[in-house]
Structure 1
Amino acid sequence: MEEQHIRLSSPEIGGLWSTYMQDSMTVCLLKYFLHHMQDNDIKPLLKKALNQTCFQLKQIEEIFLKEKIPIPDGFSDKDINLSAPPLFYDLFALTLLYSMSRMNMVNLSFITANVAREDVRIFFTNALKFSAEQYSEATSLMLEKGIYDRPPMIPYPSNVEYIEKQTYIFKSFGGKRPLNAIELTDIFFNVERNYFAVILCTGLLQVVKDKEITEYIKDGKQISEKQIKFINDLLMKEDLLGTVPLTMEVTKSTVSPFSDKFIVALFHSLNSIDITLIGHALSLSLRTDLATFYSKMIAEILLYAERGFTIMVNRKWLEQPPQSIDRQKLQQGHSN
């Protein structure tokens, strides 16, 4: 029996399209950091990540060509300036790999759970597997180099307990209950993620000349600093000490290694994952002070993301994702 061709579903088209855009951005970052990399321990991880990401781009292109779907423009060598001096020291590239692998595991797991066609399923399963391997390798190397910040430690529970009072969620007179392990997890990685963003913003503010984009980056840095301050203050009140990472300094370069289009698109991508992860933290928080803070931050980041969206649209930098047909418009045209 002749095999019937199965068309791609909307989650499959959307997943492949968004992954192509993200991977083309990742290739630019990896090429830039690899060009300047001096650390022989980090270099093999960057090369491995670059080869895999290029391979994934080629696979998506083959699927799109087969389905007669236009290949997105994405990002290319035009968006990076390899002649620019290094903007960050080598250890930041390792932190970048670690952060990218964590974000990719989140994004790819969502996509993988929504696709069905076998070739697409295999593609995303393999991409997710590679991200997990990359996370493991990057984490191991960060531990070896002493730059991995361990989350707060808590005593092991001695017995199983049940929640007996509503004050577990709501503020009780005279104070609040201690943070639980689930809340501490999201708190710690929120701080880690935002320290990474602050370093990124610090470097880019040295090199971006466009006034509108400079103000956009400054405001993004302030949002990250606000989250860090709230959580560190909270941890100090809980006698858990604040989270302060090892310094990974930005160089003194004032030459931008990336196009303005690339930089705003990178922030757009980071905003998206930040909203996703804060939303996850909100869904698991069982203390009103945390839930209130997360809700406010999601609203603030949504407004901030809208500014980035507007910048890209006004400058014709934002590619439109594949979309469904406007059938009402077709029907109106037919009736006329």
Structure 2
Amino acid sequence: MGSSNRVPITSSELANLWMTYQEKTMMLRVLEHFLEHSDNEETQMLHSYYNGATKTVEKIKSILQQEGAVIPLGFTESDVNKGVPKLYDTLYDIMYLHLMTKVEMSLFALFTGMSYRKDIEDFFIGLTAESQSINSKSTQFLLEKGVLVRPPYVSMPKQVNFVQDKHYMDGIQWFSETRSLNTVEVSLIHHAIETNLVGMQLMIGFAQVAANKEVQNYLVKGMKLSKKVEVDLGEFLRQSYIEPPATHAGKATASKTAPFSDKLMMYNTGLLASFGLGSNALGGGFSLRSDLPAKMALLTKDIFTFAQDGGKIMIKNGWMEEPPQIEDRNQLTK
């Protein structure tokens, strides 16, 4: 049997390379704006990511060329405007990087499990490790700056317990009062709120500078949806006398000059909506309190509708690049 390099890439490998190319070229454009305005402390981390993303894009180009596949358009220099005022205050660049590497860790770990050719598998293993490294550095940086709020501390368990109360999964305990959240539920809620805080600021900035009125209205909806997620899930923490995470840093500036194309801002918003759908599904699946999955299901429906509406706007404006298509064999029977 020949080497793995002589085996054609599969449909899933082609799809995942294509999606990675879209995401990484978008990230390069966003970081080009951030690097124009970054402080010395932040520049090294941004450059580290930028250099890695540049190599990733070139590697994907090389693989696709070897396979005889067209190189996607992705996001180019036409999607970023140089020399414009910064759209976000100090530290938002690292907050954004922290959020997006969370998205990448999930994506690339999934793509690794969907890879069958050894070099493609190794490629995504490397990308997963790279995203984990940047995410770890950004986490420690933001903690040192007092921007990230750690999840609440709890008393360490001293013995193993099994659920005895038949109402445990109903969320009811002790004379019909709602039982306190367990640590699994707290961790999932904290994660959802933390990511939505960063996403909400992203939507605020995007909405300020969008050129297309329909896009602007859509981004305002995204801002309000992020706020709804934060408020609705935060209430579960407050019921257990836990203060939801909040941050003082990384707000949108008053700039009305767009550093990015509407196409890029819509794609980034759609990517985060997809991440939100996955996170909510995980949160609902691992919660043992019936009221929490019910709330997450309602939020998931809102996020799904929001994502669909965004796709329609992108198609309407000719911004949605079509993924590689499988041959339509139905045409052969006509």
TM-score, normalised via structure 2 length: 0.96
| 1:147-166 → structure 2 map (5 Å cutoff) | 147-166=147-166
Q: Aligned partners of 2:171 and 2:160: how far apart in 1?
A: 23
Q: In structure 2, do the counterparts of structure 1 residues 2 and 12 end up closer, same or farther at CA, with 3 Å as the change threshold?
A: closer
Q: Which residue of 2 aligns with 1:228?
A: 230
Q: In structure 2, do the counterparts of structure 1 residues 171 and 136 end up closer, same or farther at CA, with 3 Å as the change threshold?
A: closer
**Residue 2 of structure 1, CA deviation:** 5.7
Q: Which residue of 1 aligns with 2:97?
A: 97
Q: Aligned partners of 2:2 and 2:46: how far apart in 1?
A: 43
Partner-residue secondary structure (3-state), 1:90: coil
Report whether the alignment pairs 1:191 with 2:189.
no
Contact kept? 2:189, 2:234, Cα under 8 Å: no
Q: Which residue of 1 aligns with 2:250?
A: 248
Q: Which residue of 2 aligns with 1:32?
A: 33
Q: Which residue of 2 aligns with 1:83?
A: 83
Q: Which residue of 2 aligns with 1:179?
A: 181
Partner-residue secondary structure (3-state), 1:41: helix
Amino acid at match of 2:245: T
% identical aligned pairs: 29
Partner-residue secondary structure (3-state), 1:126: helix
Partner-residue secondary structure (3-state), 2:86: coil
**Residue 323 of structure 1, CA deviation:** 2.3
Q: Which residue of 2 aligns with 1:275?
A: 277
Q: Which runs of 5+ in 2 are unaligned?
A: none
Q: Which residue of 2 aligns with 1:322?
A: 324
RMSD: 1.4
Q: Which residue of 2 aligns with 1:8?
A: 9
1:243-266 CA-to-partner distances (Å, cap 9, x unmatched) read 222232322211011111111111
Q: Which runs of 5+ in 1 are unaligned?
A: none
Q: Aligned partners of 1:61 and 1:213: how far apart in 2?
A: 31
- Choose from 295, 298, 301 the match for 2:300: 298
Amino acid at match of 1:216: Y
Contact kept? 2:29, 2:77, Cα under 8 Å: yes
Contact kept? 2:186, 2:237, Cα under 8 Å: no
- List, as ranges, runs of 4+ consecutive aligned residues in structure 1 with deviation greater than 3 Å: 1-4
Q: Aligned partners of 2:153 and 2:222: how far apart in 1?
A: 30
Amino acid at match of 1:32: H
1:291-336 CA-to-partner distances (Å, cap 9, x unmatched) read 101111111111111110000111111011112221111221xxxx
Amino acid at match of 2:311: F
1:126-157 CA-to-partner distances (Å, cap 9, x unmatched) read 11110111011111111222212111222111
**Residue 242 of structure 1, CA deviation:** 2.7
Q: Which residue of 2 aligns with 1:215?
A: 217
Q: Aligned partners of 2:254 and 2:143: how far apart in 1?
A: 27
Report whether the alignment pairs 1:49 with 2:38.
no
Q: Which residue of 2 aligns with 1:22?
A: 23
Q: Which residue of 1 aligns with 2:138?
A: 138
Contact kept? 2:87, 2:255, Cα under 8 Å: yes
Q: Aligned partners of 1:168 and 1:42: how far apart in 2?
A: 46
Which segment is superposed worse, 62-71 or 137-146?
Answer: 137-146
Q: Aligned partners of 2:278 and 2:317: how far apart in 1?
A: 26
Which segment is superposed worse, 56-65 or 316-325?
Answer: 316-325
Which segment is superposed worse, 233-242 or 276-285?
Answer: 233-242
Partner-residue secondary structure (3-state), 2:178: coil
Report whether the alignment pairs 1:200 with 2:220.
no
1:173-208 CA-to-partner distances (Å, cap 9, x unmatched) read 622221111111110011111111111122122212
Q: Which residue of 1 aligns with 2:66?
A: 66
Number of equivalences = 331
Q: In structure 2, do the counterparts of structure 1 residues 214 and 156 end up closer, same or farther at CA, with 3 Å as the change threshold?
A: same
